[in-house]
Amino acid sequence: MARTLVGYFIGLIMSVCGWTVIAWGQAYVPGEVIVKLKSNGKSSGVFFSKASTKATMNLKKSYSKMNIHHFALKPGQSVEEKVFELQNDPDVEYVEPNYIFSKPVTESESQTLSYEEMQVEIAATSVDYPATGAPIHAKAIWSSLTVPGAKPIVAVIDTGVDINHPVFVGSQAIWTNSDEIPNNGLDDDGNGYIDDVNGFNFVDNNGNMYDDDDHGTHVAGIILGVGQDIYTAPFDESKIEIMPLKFLDANGVGSTSSAIQAIYYAVHNGAKVINNSWGGPAYSAALHDAIVYSYNKGVTFLAASGNAGSDNDFNPMYPASYLVPHIVSVAAITDIEQLASFSNYGRDSVH
């Protein structure tokens, strides 16, 4: 707890003073930066009108409600030089590289569990690992779930989802944007995304939803399998809707900017829960602010603690390690309710 409080106050001081620690040892997208401008009513207009801004950067995406902007640098500009330059700009609150995140590197995806074995894992009555020791009771909660109106939407930010998989088709689990007309090349609902009928693909920047890695499909199947048999047809109708949001590519790699877009999309299109089975060691202030934005909108944020077998209290893994109240940092357990050997843990930071 002491470490958590220290981390909180350090973060608060950094925020007040306008400091941002740049993780230069971490991977980032070449030729791109993310900038947050000061919220004083004039910095945005001043910054975009500067000759230096026009001469060295092209705007790729803006998140006006957060005053965050994603830029591509023009040829001849280095990320390091631009970051150092903008850190001294009076209109800039912070600037950082467009950090890279990825799916967990250690997976046990090849293990196939029966429905009964899965229920043993998700209906655990106690969990003996060095975090909170709190019971899960997932199946009991799911069984008690009643949906009087629209089904709760769970956004899965990952490598995509195979929306044509028989389990998802048979259970009617995939979210559908009823205000969007499929494949007409138009943004029918005016939300800024064309043909986003079943979510959005931020890798290819289109509504074509697929999974070229299988990780996202695996994750979505686990979420659906918490409450129903996903091994035996016919499948029960799902009590939730899964919103696929692809930001990781075929190698399981994605950027901060794409993650922010996915979070922003989920919040503004009705998701009540956002699942994030990915991460990295780089602290991104922009990603933190996007998650805070989701918190202020009443969305629950689930994040994998990581699969490196390390202590997140001392070696943070983001987004799971951000100090935002609605984040639930999730470790992996075995079928005998023990911490999985590959799972990250943390007495203060993993739930």
Give the pLDDT confidence score for residue 150 in this predicted structure.
82
Q: Residue 236: which domain range? A: 115-330
pLDDT-derived band at 121 (thresholds 50, 70, 90) equals very low
Helix-helix angle 256-268:285-296, to 10 degrees: 10
Give the pLDDT confidence score for residue 141 in this predicted structure.
60
Give the pLDDT confidence score for residue 21 in this predicted structure.
57
Same domain, yes or no: 31 and 140: no
Give the pLDDT confidence score for residue 1 in this predicted structure.
40
Evaluate the CA torsion angle 110, 133, 300, 252 in order and state its sign. Answer: negative
Same domain, yes or no: 166 and 207: yes
Residue 287 CA to residue 259 CA, distance in Å, equals 7
Q: Which of 63-77, 139-153, 180-194 has the lowest mean pLDDT?
A: 139-153
* Domain contains 266: yes
Provide the number of structural domains found in the chain: 2
Q: Please state, rounded to an integer, the average pLDDT across all residues of the chain.
A: 85
Same domain, yes or no: 93 and 139: no
Same domain, yes or no: 69 and 139: no
Based on its alpha-carbon atoms, the radius of gyration of the chain, rounded to whole angstroms, reads 21
Same domain, yes or no: 76 and 220: no
Give the pLDDT confidence score for residue 277 in this predicted structure.
96
Phi, psi of 170, rounded to the nearest 5 degrees: -65, -30
Same domain, yes or no: 94 and 181: no
Q: Which two tokens stand for residue 126?
A: 């106690």
